[in-house]
Structure 1
Amino acid sequence: MATTDDFREIVPLDELEAEGRTLASVDGTPLAVFHHEGEIRAVDDRCPHMGFPLVEGTVDDGILTCHWHHARFELSCGDTFDPWADDVRTYPTEVRDGTVYVNPNPSREVPPDEHWAGRLETGLEENLRLVVAKSTIGLLDAGVDYRVPTATALEFGTRYRESGWGRGLTILGCMANVMDDLEPRDRKRALYTGVRHVASDCAGEPPRFEQPSFSTDEVAFDRLKSWFRDCVEVRDRDGAERCLRTAVASGRSEGEVAEIVFAAATDHPYLSTGHVLDFANTAFESLEHVGWAQAGEILTGLVEPLVTASRSDERSAWRRPVDLVALLEEVYGGDISATSGLEELASEGAETAWAPPDGLQETLLGDDPEAIVDALADAVRSGATTEELAAEVVHAAATRVARFGTANEFGDWDTVHHAFTYANAVHQSTRRTDAVELYRGVFDAACKVYLDRFLNTPSAPVPEPGDEASGREPDAVLEELLETFDAEGKVNAAGRLVAEFFDCGGDPTALKRTLGHGLLREDADFHTLQNLEAAFRQFDLADARTDERGDAVDIAPAELERRRRVPMIATARYMAAHFPTRREAEQTFSIATRLNRGEAIHED
């Protein structure tokens, strides 16, 4: 093919006029060249929507229409009429001595990162999965840090959902939390997963109209905290939002703002099946990725879930046959939202180092609620911090999942899951603020672990360290684990394989990447995505209790090994119970990846 300047010879002009169109390949790029209304136009032959050949489309009245999904493009500039299709790339043409030439390498007017950022906004606004997939992949391929599109999705999700923070934003936060644990390709899957769930959550929702902060920064912290709690208690969303926005606008620290939110989130036990506190914790974690500057917009999205929450102290399970609320009120100080009793216990244990007593886990997993509450109260009295005590309760909650008996109803997986993710949220929250109110979260989580005791009957065995030692290569174990997710009902096998991986000396980094890949190739639901993220967080916190040589520093080595294994065994079993799925999202991701690479999707 002849070359002149930056242009390539394509076809004689009279031949193009006679045929109206032609297909040419230049440097591997297929070009559709049209003669229409006396003008010559060249576009990429691959429809940007799904890659079908545009040369087989229709040109009429200056519009090129793809025959497969009827995407329409303004022929001279390539802009689409249909937001779901994306614009098609156009190429400069010239006629020289009766021959048509095309420049196959024109300069881009818009850099890739700007183009994909704009497409991401369209994907969010229109809830277009393929557009979201292409834009998230395109942004990461362009070298954009995942935090940038995460911030875009966070802002969109809080602004365009009147009902406030929900599952979509929580999934986005969870995916940001595990990003560093994933293989590079799976990081694209994770970002796509988070953003598409935000878009879906906001579809059809009216926007949220924000309340302003008060025109003063002189309100004392305790008063502002009290106002916020009072507004939430009477379900006054506008008043609560103004208080919270004032706390941020007046420069209160992250710890102080967290105390305000978590106090209200624990004024009643286990709000909305634990989701309210979990949402709040994830919102603060999300700010760690995108920066505190967005705190006012993001955190006020928590108000609606707070003021509309269902309250477990109004549920019969918490009142009959054992009045758990009365047990808690006695410890808290006479009322379910009190803290005076907890403050008194904590003052007794001030300056005292606490270590978990023998048998604490057995008590937490037992069937005596009074013994559970007494054990926790004794721990506070003996100097246990909120974080130390939360670590014990979340381990018990993870054990419930690891021991879940498959003879139970399938839906009860979510029952033990909710206790685990709630306890994890409490634990993570205690690392953000030492507010005394979070003791209530610990007690509430322990009561939920108690209520779930029957779901470990019969109890699935959790392999002890060394039980599954096989001498196999760790990679072979991970390969079998992925195969396990391809078949239904391999719950116990998945747990045993994780234990075997540890017993074979496998690198936990590889295990995380395998579990992450197994999760993200599926159409995983909200709870499964949450479960893996919570398991990774709990593994990391247990793993942090070692020195540079990997030796336990504040816990018996055997117990530390259990603390590391149990959440990973638990999430593998949970995943296996919910896999395989149709993998529709993976199909979309694969198509988007190939389109962005310029690969042919549909070939004869």
Structure 2
Amino acid sequence: MATTDDFHELAPLSDLEAAGRTQVSIDGTPLAAFYHEGEVRVVDNRCPHMGFPLSEGTVDEGILTCHWHHARFELSCGDTFDPWADDVRTYPTEIRDGVVYVNPNPARDRPPAEHWTDRLETGLEENLRLVAAKSSIGLLDAGVDYREPMAVTLEFGTRYRDSGWGRGLTILGCLANVMADLDPEDRKRALYTGVRHVADDCASEPPHFDQPSFSTSEVDFDRLKSWFRDCVEVRDADGAERCLRTAVASGYSEAEIADLLVAAATDHPYLSTGHVLDFANTALESLDHVGWATADDTLAALVEPLVTATRSDEQSAWRQPIDLVALLEDVYGGDVTETSGLADLVAEGAEPRDETAWTPPEDFQATLLGDDPEAIVDALAGAIRSGATTEALAGEVAHAAATRVAQFGTANEFSDWDTVHHTFTYANAVHGFARRTDAIECYRGVFDAALNVYLDRFLNTPPAPIPDPGEHESDRDPDAVLETLLETFDREGAVNEAGRLVAEFLDCGGDPAALKRTLGRGLLREDAGFHTLQNVEAAFRQFELAESSVSTGEDTQIEHERRRRVPLIATARYMAAHFPTRREADQTFTIAQRLNRGETIHEG
């Protein structure tokens, strides 16, 4: 085809006038050309919504309508009347000696990153999945760091949801935490998943109107912390928000802000089945990704879940047949909001209080997984007295909670998967806070999680076996084991098989990083729900912490290997219990990916 400069010959003008339209492909770009109201207009022949050929559409009064979903476009500039459809690209034309020429590769008016950021905001505002997918793909393809669109999404989710931090923002934070563990293509899926869940969470919600910080920055931290806890206790959202914003504005450290949050979130045990503390931990982790500049708005979103939380000390399971709350009050030195008893235990403990001060007794895990709550409380109190840090104890309880998931009996009701899941993610959040602050209130989170591990004991009756290291060693190539694991997620109910395959992969010397990439792939191709996304993130975190712990001696190394595999076996079983799904979200993602690549989806 003849070319002049950047312009390529398209068609004789007389032919286009007679036909009214034509379609061509130039330099691999499918084009639809229209002669309308005395003007030549050329657009990308693929509807930006689903790729249907626009050459088969209708042009009337300057509007091009796609017949597939009736998306409408202003023909001269390509802008859409329907935000869910996105704008269609237009191309410059020239008429020379009765021939129409077109430039199929014009310079873009705006940098791709700027364009896709605007589209991301539209996807969030209008709750448009396809736009969210296209913008997530477009931004990462343009080399934008995932933290930038995450920050945009985080700001949107905290501003436009009056009910505060919820599932969508938690999903966004969880997926940011596992981003480095994923294949590059799955990182785009992860961003898209976080964006679409935040958009869905905010749809039809009123915006949040901020309460300002106090006009002074001279309030003592302990007093501000006391005010904040008092406001949360009486469910005063406005007062609590002002206290929290003042703490941030006054320049208190991240560890001190975490101290304030964990205190209020553990003044009653296991608030809202653990979600409140988990939300707070994920909010702080989200700020680790995007920076502390938006801490005031991000953390203010936690106030509403805090003041509206259900309190487990008001529920019968924590009162009958054994009064678990009374056990805690004996340790805490008063009601469940006290810490004086814990302070006495700490004062008795070994010095210095660090990771070397305490080693768990051989029967410690057995006690945590046992059926005697008094023994559990005594074991934890004794550990504190012996110098155990909040981080060390939180790690032990998180491992016990992961074991509950790994040993969940499939004869139980399906909904009880979430019972053991909630305990696991709560324990993981306690562990997160304990690594962030040495606040004594973290011990309360440890006790709360441990007693919930106790309450979940019947869900391990009988316990599913956890394969020992070497039990499933085989000659199979580790990659083949991973392929089989993904195939297992295609079948309903292959719970025990999924756990066994994780053990076999590790026994065959497989690289844990490859296993996490495969689990991430299996997760993100599904319409995974909130809890499944949480579960995988918590399992990856607990695996990493176990992986990095020091082990010496053959017996200790075997126990270390046994311990580190539990979270990954647990999450593989949880995933298998909830898969397969219809995979609607991934279908949308695939369409968006093909549209962004310029592929023809529908043949015209």
State how far apart, in whole Å, the 1-side matches of 2:552 and 2:514 are.
Answer: 22
8 Å CA contact 2:161–2:202 kept in 1: the answer is yes
- Structure 1 equivalent of residue 561 of structure 2: 561
- Structure 2 equivalent of residue 400 of structure 1: 404
State how far apart, in whole Å, the 1-side matches of 2:98 and 2:290 are.
Answer: 57
Note the C-alpha offset of 1:214.
0.4
- Structure 2 equivalent of residue 119 of structure 1: 119
8 Å CA contact 2:53–2:603 kept in 1: the answer is no
State how far apart, in whole Å, the 1-side matches of 2:373 and 2:529 are.
Answer: 32
State how far apart, in whole Å, the 2-side matches of 1:308 and 1:598 are.
Answer: 48
Amino acid at match of 1:581: T
Does residue 21 of the first structure (1) align with residue 21 of the second (2)?
yes
Greater CA drift, 553-562 or 58-67: 553-562
Does residue 538 of the first structure (1) align with residue 542 of the second (2)?
yes
Note the C-alpha offset of 1:458.
1.2
TM-score by length of 2: 0.98
Counterpart secondary structure, 2:22: strand
- Structure 2 equivalent of residue 411 of structure 1: 415
Amino acid at match of 1:14: S
Does residue 377 of the first structure (1) align with residue 385 of the second (2)?
no
Amino acid at match of 1:500: E
The 1:555/1:194 distance shift into structure 2, 3 A limit, reads farther
8 Å CA contact 1:545–1:554 kept in 2: the answer is no
Note the C-alpha offset of 1:554.
13
8 Å CA contact 2:137–2:188 kept in 1: the answer is yes
State how far apart, in whole Å, the 2-side matches of 1:95 and 1:378 are.
Answer: 88
State how far apart, in whole Å, the 2-side matches of 1:576 and 1:7 are.
Answer: 55
- Structure 2 equivalent of residue 505 of structure 1: 509
State how far apart, in whole Å, the 1-side matches of 2:445 and 2:562 are.
Answer: 24
State how far apart, in whole Å, the 1-side matches of 2:565 and 2:101 are.
Answer: 65
Note the C-alpha offset of 1:445.
0.2
Does residue 303 of the first structure (1) align with residue 303 of the second (2)?
yes
- Structure 1 equivalent of residue 368 of structure 2: 364
Note the C-alpha offset of 1:471.
2.4
- Structure 1 equivalent of residue 266 of structure 2: 266
Does residue 428 of the first structure (1) align with residue 423 of the second (2)?
no
Counterpart secondary structure, 1:84: helix
Note the C-alpha offset of 1:5.
2.2
Amino acid at match of 2:9: E
Q: Structure 2, unaligned stretches of length 5 or more? A: none
State how far apart, in whole Å, the 2-side matches of 1:558 and 1:348 are.
Answer: 33
- Structure 2 equivalent of residue 153 of structure 1: 153
- Structure 1 equivalent of residue 63 of structure 2: 63
Amino acid at match of 2:418: D
The share of aligned pairs that are identical, in percent, is 79
Q: Structure 1, unaligned stretches of length 5 or more? A: none
- Structure 1 equivalent of residue 200 of structure 2: 200
Per-residue CA deviations over 1:18-49 (Å, capped at 9, x if unaligned) read 11111121111111111111111111111111
Greater CA drift, 34-43 or 114-123: 34-43
State how far apart, in whole Å, the 2-side matches of 1:160 and 1:583 are.
Answer: 28
Note the C-alpha offset of 1:292.
0.5
- Structure 2 equivalent of residue 466 of structure 1: 470
- Structure 2 equivalent of residue 166 of structure 1: 166
- Structure 2 equivalent of residue 446 of structure 1: 450
Counterpart secondary structure, 2:436: coil
Counterpart secondary structure, 1:59: strand
Counterpart secondary structure, 1:562: helix
8 Å CA contact 1:76–1:90 kept in 2: the answer is yes
Does residue 289 of the first structure (1) align with residue 293 of the second (2)?
no
8 Å CA contact 2:13–2:99 kept in 1: the answer is yes
- Structure 1 equivalent of residue 499 of structure 2: 495
8 Å CA contact 1:405–1:459 kept in 2: the answer is yes
The 1:553/1:283 distance shift into structure 2, 3 A limit, reads farther
State how far apart, in whole Å, the 1-side matches of 2:503 and 2:15 are.
Answer: 70
Amino acid at match of 2:367: T
8 Å CA contact 1:552–1:560 kept in 2: the answer is no
- Structure 1 equivalent of residue 321 of structure 2: 321
Amino acid at match of 1:121: E
State how far apart, in whole Å, the 2-side matches of 1:166 and 1:554 are.
Answer: 45
Counterpart secondary structure, 1:42: strand
State how far apart, in whole Å, the 2-side matches of 1:193 and 1:7 are.
Answer: 40
State how far apart, in whole Å, the 2-side matches of 1:496 and 1:323 are.
Answer: 38
Note the C-alpha offset of 1:11.
1.3
State how far apart, in whole Å, the 2-side matches of 1:553 and 1:291 are.
Answer: 41
State how far apart, in whole Å, the 1-side matches of 2:552 and 2:578 are.
Answer: 34
Aligned positions, number:
600
Does residue 222 of the first structure (1) align with residue 226 of the second (2)?
no
State how far apart, in whole Å, the 2-side matches of 1:445 and 1:167 are.
Answer: 21
The 1:554/1:62 distance shift into structure 2, 3 A limit, reads farther
Note the C-alpha offset of 1:553.
8.9
State how far apart, in whole Å, the 1-side matches of 2:24 and 2:590 are.
Answer: 26
Amino acid at match of 2:105: N
State how far apart, in whole Å, the 2-side matches of 1:552 and 1:196 are.
Answer: 46
Note the C-alpha offset of 1:171.
0.3
Matches within 5 A, 1:232-247: 232-247=232-247
8 Å CA contact 2:368–2:450 kept in 1: the answer is yes
Note the C-alpha offset of 1:394.
0.6
State how far apart, in whole Å, the 2-side matches of 1:575 and 1:330 are.
Answer: 39
The 1:540/1:107 distance shift into structure 2, 3 A limit, reads same
Note the C-alpha offset of 1:103.
1.4
Counterpart secondary structure, 1:100: strand
What RMSD, in angstroms, separates the aligned Cα atoms of the two structures? 1.1
Per-residue CA deviations over 1:371-427 (Å, capped at 9, x if unaligned) read 000110000111101000001101000000000000100000000000000000000
Amino acid at match of 2:453: V
8 Å CA contact 2:526–2:585 kept in 1: the answer is yes
Greater CA drift, 356-365 or 464-473: 464-473
Per-residue CA deviations over 1:245-267 (Å, capped at 9, x if unaligned) read 00001100000011001100000
State how far apart, in whole Å, the 1-side matches of 2:302 and 2:205 are.
Answer: 16
Amino acid at match of 2:25: S
8 Å CA contact 1:124–1:195 kept in 2: the answer is yes
Counterpart secondary structure, 2:302: helix
Note the C-alpha offset of 1:104.
1.4
State how far apart, in whole Å, the 2-side matches of 1:189 and 1:577 are.
Answer: 22
Per-residue CA deviations over 1:64-120 (Å, capped at 9, x if unaligned) read 111111111111111111111111111111111111111112111011111100000
